[in-house]
Structure 1
Amino acid sequence: MTNLSERAGRAVAIATRAGRRLGLHAREPRVLHDVFNVLVHLAPEPVVVRVPSLGFAGAEELERKQRRELAVAGWLADTGAPVVRPSPLVPREPVVTDGTSLTFWEFVSEEKPAADEDLMARFVEQTGNAAELHALLAGYPGELPVLSPLVPGLRPLLDELGRRRPDGLTAADLDRAESEYAALEALVVDLPAHFPGARLQPLHGDSPAYNMLRVTGGRRLFSDFEDVTLGPVEWDLTLVGPHGIEAYERAGGGPVDPALLEVMEGARLLQVVGALAFVPLMPEMGAMLEPAVARWRERAPLSVSRSA
């Protein structure tokens, strides 16, 4: 392996050591993905290790998130749902190695889009597929916190922004972000009081239409349930656009509340602002986030008022 970032090189070493301790023959480890997490395929084993590489949450909170993810993704897989499964070759629990908590997943071979494929049409179709996922998740028997990627998930990111403000983020931006976070805290405490018609249920938590893999044979699998949470379906439908919403409703996902979707989209953009905390660690992320940050600035500040 060549041209790996220092972060990815460390992740490969950790994943390989952890896999070998569990009896896996990780002779040819390779990096599949390197952004917020590093995904390491322990080839020739059909196992992928997710190594957290960027984050400010404490070790206990990270492990709680991972246990929730493994529980939900494992339950879905056991029911035959189209998801990337936790690896059946290791225990279904986080593995702590060198102070880092890892999760192990089944390797799937992803098919690349055809050169002439309409990627927007594919994305709209995948948003419609989220209706099936929500129907499956509605039966999950375990307990989940409400909108945990926002509260408390955003808190350590906003704290880090206050300590090490990235270039381009102003004091007014920070004040606005704190005000919006306070509004989200009020919403999470009693969401039905603000939106009586909201459908609270288990959710993917990180826009499932963006986290669907097309694998060999044309199958589509939902992946990356690390932000699984309880909440309104509108949280999973942020930033998919009107055609995506139409596809979701046509597929049986039920009516989407435009007012609640608007609030959730504001919350999703605040989450992007929080991700600026990672820019000092990964400078190339700044350019990736800037369009969404500009969109956040253009919107009216997020607020939550009780419905009549």
Structure 2
Amino acid sequence: MADYVTEGDVARRSAAAVDAAVGAGRALGVEVAQARVLHDLFSVVVHLAPSPVVARVPTVLPGSTGPEELGRRQRAELDVAAWLAGRGVPVVDPSPLVPREPVLRDGFSMTFWRFWEEDRGRGPDYAAQARETAVLHAALEGYPGRLPFLGAVGPGAVEEAFGVLEGCPELLGATDLERARREWAVLGPVVRSRAVFEEVFPGVRVRPVHGDSPPANVFRGVGGDRFADFELVSLGPVEWDLAGLDPELVAAYDGGARREGLRVLDGRVLGFVNAVGMLCVLSALALVPRMPSLGRYLVPAVRGWRESPFAGGVDLGR
């Protein structure tokens, strides 16, 4: 059984991230009278009040996401969000008050964003957000920067997580882990290689995608909704951004795609990304010892996976 952090450990880690954000912000000339934590899960998100600046400080990352990989992801996120904002796409954009680049401080690598007031009286409309994801895809079509293929699945991250889970049978038993590894042996080669993907799914074009379920990453602002959290932006099929969603949300996206002149979702590709996404969920169990609260979100998904067909029942035709 792995060693688990305590609530006190988590509180100290979060406090250190806040202190780093405040120190970095002030060093960049940002006025900070009060640091207000807006969100704290994989990252600590801090409003550096009274300035209209928000710092996002990653605190829980897979071991395979080292400083170089994290910096690459952060630079890509800042660049894509700024590029979209410059074209009038409603996104949470980088702060114009500091340089548009990751900042290192006290062992943390952080990014700075414009503060937008949240509309706390309005709940999510996931169907509308799925439809608007087609608008986002249409806008991303022209992004000129270089992005990795399916970069949301970090290099070696799944294999590393399964290695960690060998020592955590309370999180994933030996039988489950053996099945997960067999599924990854089938799906992994398609994830790692754009050429293999295009061989398996001929005619399905790879293009810039958000990378992390944009229908679930919409900030509900006082002035309207804005897409957020482009941390995993990459190249892939549009289906990647709709993985794991209910059929009615898939249908909502298809409606938006027709409106934007995009293709509707391919059922075979959707089955593939759903199966890969499920293995990513399993690999996230390896982070539970460092973030115990994560377990309550993941355990129900594991039960559903056990009842599902092997590798999602996807025929890769190879």
- Contact kept, 8 Å, 1:193 with 1:306, in 2: the verdict is no
Q: Whole-Å Cα distance in 2 between the matches of residues 209 and 296 of structure 1?
A: 22
Give, in angstroms, the shift of residue 224 of structure 1.
0.1
Q: Deviations over 1:198-250 (max 9, x none)?
A: 22110000000000112113x11000000101000111001221111111111
Match of residue 187 from structure 1:
190
Match of residue 298 from structure 2:
289
- Contact kept, 8 Å, 2:271 with 2:314, in 1: the verdict is no
Give, in angstroms, the shift of residue 177 of structure 1.
2.5
Q: Return closer, same or farther for 1:68/1:160 CA change in 2, 3 Å cut-off.
A: farther
Give, in angstroms, the shift of residue 260 of structure 1.
1.0
Q: Return closer, same or farther for 1:85/1:97 CA change in 2, 3 Å cut-off.
A: same
Q: Deviations over 1:64-116 (max 9, x none)?
A: 111111111111111111110011111111001112111111111111244xx
Q: Return closer, same or farther for 1:238/1:15 CA change in 2, 3 Å cut-off.
A: same
Residue 41 of structure 2 corresponds to residue 35 of structure 1: yes
Query: Secondary structure at the residue paired with 1:88?
Result: coil
Give, in angstroms, the shift of residue 275 of structure 1.
1.0
Match of residue 69 from structure 1:
77
Residue 305 of structure 2 corresponds to residue 279 of structure 1: no
Query: Quick one: which amino acid aligns to residue 69 of structure 2?
Result: E
Match of residue 157 from structure 1:
161
Q: Whole-Å Cα distance in 2 between the matches of residues 43 and 166 of structure 1?
A: 44
Give, in angstroms, the shift of residue 6 of structure 1.
2.1
- Residue of structure 1 aligned with 2:229, choices 214, 224, 228: 224
Query: Quick one: which amino acid aligns to residue 91 of structure 2?
Result: V
- Contact kept, 8 Å, 1:166 with 1:276, in 2: the verdict is no
Q: Deviations over 1:134-161 (max 9, x none)?
A: 0001110111111112252434433432
Query: Quick one: which amino acid aligns to residue 109 of structure 2?
Result: S
Q: Whole-Å Cα distance in 1 between the matches of residues 151 and 187 of structure 2?
A: 11
Give, in angstroms, the shift of residue 305 of structure 1.
5.0
* Count of residues in Structure 1 that have an aligned counterpart in Structure 2: 299
TM-score by length of 2: 0.89
Residue 247 of structure 2 corresponds to residue 242 of structure 1: yes
Q: Whole-Å Cα distance in 2 between the matches of residues 83 and 192 of structure 1?
A: 30
- Contact kept, 8 Å, 1:266 with 1:296, in 2: the verdict is no
- Taking only aligned residues, the RMSD between alpha carbons, in angstroms, comes to 1.9
Query: Quick one: which amino acid aligns to residue 304 of structure 2?
Result: R
Residue 220 of structure 2 corresponds to residue 214 of structure 1: yes
Query: Secondary structure at the residue paired with 1:42?
Result: strand
Q: Whole-Å Cα distance in 2 between the matches of residues 307 and 31 of structure 1?
A: 48
Q: Return closer, same or farther for 1:260/1:113 CA change in 2, 3 Å cut-off.
A: farther
Match of residue 199 from structure 1:
205
- Contact kept, 8 Å, 1:25 with 1:45, in 2: the verdict is yes
Query: Quick one: which amino acid aligns to residue 271 of structure 2?
Result: E
Q: Which of 282-291 and 86-95 deviates more?
A: 282-291
Match of residue 5 from structure 2:
none
Query: Secondary structure at the residue paired with 1:70?
Result: helix
Residue 28 of structure 2 corresponds to residue 22 of structure 1: yes
Q: Return closer, same or farther for 1:40/1:13 CA change in 2, 3 Å cut-off.
A: same
The runs of 5 or more residues in structure 1 that have no matched partner are none
Match of residue 59 from structure 2:
53
Give, in angstroms, the shift of residue 131 of structure 1.
0.2
The runs of 5 or more residues in structure 2 that have no matched partner are 1-7
Q: Whole-Å Cα distance in 1 between the matches of residues 314 and 75 of structure 2?
A: 31
TM-score by length of 1: 0.91
Query: Secondary structure at the residue paired with 2:289?
Result: coil
- Contact kept, 8 Å, 1:130 with 1:248, in 2: the verdict is yes
Q: Whole-Å Cα distance in 1 between the matches of residues 169 and 109 of structure 2?
A: 28
Query: Secondary structure at the residue paired with 1:221?
Result: strand
